A and B are shown apart, each in its own frame.
Chain A
Amino acid sequence: MTDTNTNPLQLAEQRLLEPAGLQESHLGDALGNMLSGGVDTAELYFQVARHESWSLEDGIVKEGTHSIERGVGVRAVAGEKTGFAYSDEIVVPALMSASKAAGAIARLGQQGQVQAWSRAGEQRLYPALDPIMSLADEDKVALLQQVDKATRAHDSRVQQVMASITGVQEIVLVCSSDGVYAADVRPLVRMNVAVIVEDGGRREQAYTGAGGRFAYEHFLSGDRALALGREAVRQALVSLEAVPAPAGEMVVVLGPGWPGVLLHEAIGHGLEGDFNRKGTSAFAGRIGEQVATDLCTVVDDGTLQGRRGSLNMDDEGTPSQCTTLIEKGRLVGYMQDSMNARLMGVPATGNGRRQSFAHVPMPRMTNTYMLPGPHDPDEIIASVERGIYACNFAGGQVDITSGKFVFSASEAYLIDKGKLGAPIRDATLVGDGPSVLQKVSMVGNDLELDEGVGVCGKDGQSVPVGVGQPTLRIDSLTVGGTGNA
C-alpha cells in the first residue's frame, strides 16, 4: 500500500519518468520542439491509470478485472489553435515525434522559450493512496457477498441483486513551457448496487451507488455498503406502486442532493469557458445579468475534501478552486481552462480537465451545487397545490446553444394540496436553462451533495463530477409523462 504521506511529485517522477530514463533535459527538448513560432504554450501530460472492478450477480462474484493505461499527451496551443498528439509508450523517441507532430499547428513566427519550472502550490484534498491496494482481494469479494446477502434478506420481493466495486489510481505529471511542473495522485472508488423486485407479476429495478476519492475502507465503516442495498430495494419497491406520470407544465419540487444534476445540465455546461469564448452558449455575453431569482447562489467547487469531483490541481496543473457562477441570481463567472482564460483575458479557474493523456483538456465542471436558502423543505412541499416532487434522477443532457435541457426522474411523487401522493413512473423533465432558475421561488435550508456517482460527458470525454443542491421549488417545468396533468 502506498504511504498516504507520499509526495505526489516524487511518486509521479518515479512511476512515469524514471522507467523511461526521462530527464528534465528531455522534457525541455520536447517542449522546445513545439515552440517553433506562434505557439503560446507547449505542454506534456504524463499519466498512468490503474483500474480494477469486481462484480457480483446471482449471489456469486463472477469476475475481477484489472487494467492499466499509460502514456503521454503532447499539446501545442497557438492563439485559438491546438495541435495534439499522444503516445502510449513513454519513451524518448515517441515523446520527440509526438511533440513534433503537435507543434505542426504553429505558424511561422518568433521562437518561444521554455520558462523555468516552478512547483504549483499543493492542495491535499485526498491522500496519495492506491485504492486497489487498500483492501485485500478476498475482503473485496467478501464485502460484495455481504451486500448481496443483506439486500436479499431485506425483502422477499427481491429477485436479483447486482453489486460491484471499482477502484482507480491515477498518477499524473504536467509540465509546460509556462513553467508548470506539477503532479497529482488521484484515488477514486465507487460501489454500485442494482436490484430487481417482483410483486404480483410486476417487476421494477433500481440502482444506487456511492464513492469518492478515498480507500475502500470507506464502505466498511458503519453500514454504508449495506445501506446502499437497502436504498436500492426501497426505490424499487416504490416503483412497484408507481402510476403513469402526468404530462404538461406544472410546479416541480426537486429534492436535495443528486437532483442537483439540474444545475449541472441547465446552468453548468452553459457556463464553461470554451462555449462562451466562442459565443455558442445561451449564456454567452451575459455576465452581470440576472439569470436566476435572488435566492440562487451556485458554485463550482473542486476543493471539497474527498469528493468525487474534487482535484488537488486540474489537468493543466492549476490548483482547483471554488468559483462562484451565480451570486444571488446574478451571473458572475465562467469556468475556465488556461487556453480559454487567456483568450478571454481572465484568470484560469482550475477547470481544465481531460479524460486521459489521449484527450485534449477543456473547461469542465468539478462539484457544482447551489447554496442553501431560507425555506424548510416541508414548507416547500406544503406550498404546492398540484405538481410533482422528484428526488432521484437517472441523468440528463443539454443543448448549450438553445439552452434546452432534459433530465430523467427515476423516483418522483405527485403533490396534491401540499401533500405527497402516489409515486409516478419514469418521466423526463424538460426546460430552458437561461430561464429555469428565474422560476425558483423557494430554496430549502437542507443542502446535500450527491453520493459520489456522477459522470459527465462532453465531446466524447468522460470525467467524474459531483452535484448538489437544497430542496427547490420551480414554479413551472414540463413533465414528460403519458398521463393526465
Chain B
Amino acid sequence: MSDMARRDLSALKATASSALEVARKLGATQAEVSTSRGAGLSVTARMRDVETLEYHRDQGMSVTVYFGQQKGSASTSDLDAAAVEESVAKACALARYAAKDPFAGLAAPERLAAGVPDLDLYHPWDVEPAQAIELALACEAAGLDFDPRINNSEGATVSTHEGVRVYGNSHGFLAGYPSSQHSLSCAVLASADGPMERDFEYSVARHADDLLAPELIGAEAARRATRRLGARKLDTATVPVLYPARLARSLFGHLIGAISGGNLYRKASFLTDAMDKKIFADTISIIEQPHIPRALSSAPFDDEGVATVDRTLIEDGHLRGYVLGSYYARKLGLESTANAGGIHNLVVSNTGEDFDQLLVDLDRGLLVTELMGQGVNTLTGDYSRGAAGFWVEQGEIQFPVSEITVAGNLSDMYQQIRAVGTDVDRRGGIRTGSVLVDGMTVAGN
C-alpha cells in the first residue's frame, strides 16, 4: 500500500469512528458509516490532438442511524469534523420522523467480516498526463489509420482512478481497503455512401499492465465501426439470437434484478417463489466468486460489512440462491447473502463451444452487436430492446442490420439458452461467454 493510501485509510477510519461516536452521544442505538476518498486523471485525444485533461478528486461520508426501529440517513462531501457532526445530527433528526420498522437495523454481528483478505485490487498507476496523452493518441491513431472509411472520431480516453473505502458500524466493525481501476477506450466513426456508423472498444483493469495495448483497442473500434456500414432492416421473424460475450452479461444482469430482495419481497419479479425451481436450461450453472484476485467486482465484505463468500445461484438450471442484503433478508425470513450494494463477480458456466462454433450452431438468425434502451420489465419478464447486428445464414455473417428490436420473455429466454461459449469477457462484474438463445422475435419491416 502506498503512503497516500495508508494515510487516507487511517484518516477515513478516524472520520468513521468519530461519526459513530457522535451518533452514540446523540442517543442512536445503532449506527453505520461509510467514508471514501479517491483521485484520478482522465485524458482524451481526438483527431490526433489532445482534447481534454481532467483531474478528479472525490470524497464523501454517509451515515445511517437507528433509534430503536426508526432510521435516518445523511451524507456529505465535506469531511471536516464540523460537517461530519452536522450530518450525523441531521440523520438523527430525520430518524425521529420515520415510522417504526421492525426489520430496520444493522447486519447480524456474527456475519461481519473477521478480516480483510488482500484481493490484489490496489495498483495505482503513476501515469503522467503527457504519457497518458501519448497512449490516447496512439490508440486513436490505430483506429483512424485502420481503414480509409474511418474518417471521424469521438476520441480515445485514458483514465485512472484510485481510492480508499471504509465501512464501520456500532457492532464494532471498522475496516477498509484501497483499490484502483484504469481504462483505455476508443470510439471512431466510419462512413461510405450511406449513413455514418460509430462503434467503440475498451479495456479496463485493476492493474495498468493488464490493459490491452492501445493499438489493439483503436483497431478493434475501427473494425467494429466499418463492418456496420451498409446496415439494413430485417423482415419480422422468430429466429435464434446470438449475444456475444460483451452483451450476454446483460441477460444475467436482468436475473440479478429479478432475484434481488426488494423485488422478491414486493413480488415484483417474474421469479417470485422460484427457489429450487428450474428457471434456466439445465446446462446453466452460475456462481458468485467475490475473491477473484484483481477482478473488477471483487470485495472482501459487502456494504454492510458482511463477509463475502463463494456461493451458488444457479445449479444445473435450478435457482439455489437469492441476492440479499440484511434488510430484505429479514423481511423474507432469510439470511443476508452478503449482497448489500450488489453482486461480487458472477461467473456463468459454459457449454464448451468457442465463438466460431456458436456462429455455426446459430446457423440462421441474428448476431446482435448492440442493444439499446431499457425495455425489460422485471415483474412480467417482458423483454423488448432495440438492436443492431448481423444477419447470419448457414453459420456465416451475411450483412449488417439495424433499426430492429429483439423481444421475448425472460422466463422463456432463460429456458431457451442453447449454448454458452468459452469466450469469456472479464471486463465487468458478470463473467460469461457468448450466449445463444432460441425462439426470439426480431421485429423490423
User: A residues touching B (Cβ–Cβ < 8 Å)?
Assistant: 54, 57, 60-71, 80-89, 98, 101-102, 104-105, 137-138, 140-141, 159-160, 162, 196, 198, 203-205, 245, 247-249, 278-280, 282, 358, 360, 394-399, 401-408, 425-428, 430-432, 478-482, 485
Contact = CB atoms under 8 A, between A and B. Distances in A.
Given A87-B57, A248-B444, A426-B384, A66 B73 contact: yes
A406 B375 contact: yes
Contacts of A203: 267-268, 379-380
A480 B72 contact: no
B78 A62 contact: no
Interface string B88-131: 00110111011111001000000000000000000000000100
Interface stretch (B12-20, B161-169, B175-183, B193-201): B193-201
Interface in B378-406: 379-380, 382, 384-386, 388, 402-406
B72 A64 contact: yes
Nearest to B199: A401
A160 B265 CA distance: 10
Contact of B152 (A138, A196, A280, A430): A280
Interface residues of B, number: 74
A259 to B, nearest CB: 15
Contacts of B148: none
The dominant DSSP class at the A interface is strand
Contacts, number: 245
Interface string B408-420: 1100000000000
A19 B301 CA distance: 39
Interface of B: 46, 49-59, 62, 71-78, 83, 87, 90-91, 93-95, 97-101, 104, 129, 152, 154, 189, 195-198, 228, 231, 233, 236, 266-268, 370, 372-375, 377, 379-380, 382, 384-386, 388, 402-409, 441, 443-445
A88 B266 contact: no
Contacts of B90: 66
A238 B136 CA distance: 52
Contacts of A66: 73-75, 87, 90-91, 94
B73 A431 contact: no
Contact of A81 (B50, B83, B267, B408): B50
Contacts of A196: 266-268, 379
Contacts of B77: 68-71, 88
Given A196-B268, A478-B443, 18 more contacts: A63-B72, A63-B98, A67-B62, A69-B76, A98-B55, A280-B154, A358-B58, A396-B373, A401-B196, A402-B231, A405-B372, A406-B373, A426-B375, A426-B377, A428-B375, A430-B403, A480-B405, A481-B443
Given A84-B53, A394-B374, A245 B129 contact: no
A65 B74 contact: yes
Contacts of B370: 399
B372 A480 contact: no
A248 B152 contact: no
Given A62-B98, A247-B236, A482 B195 contact: no
B104 to A, nearest CB: 7
A68 B51 contact: no
Contact of A63 (B58, B71, B373): B71
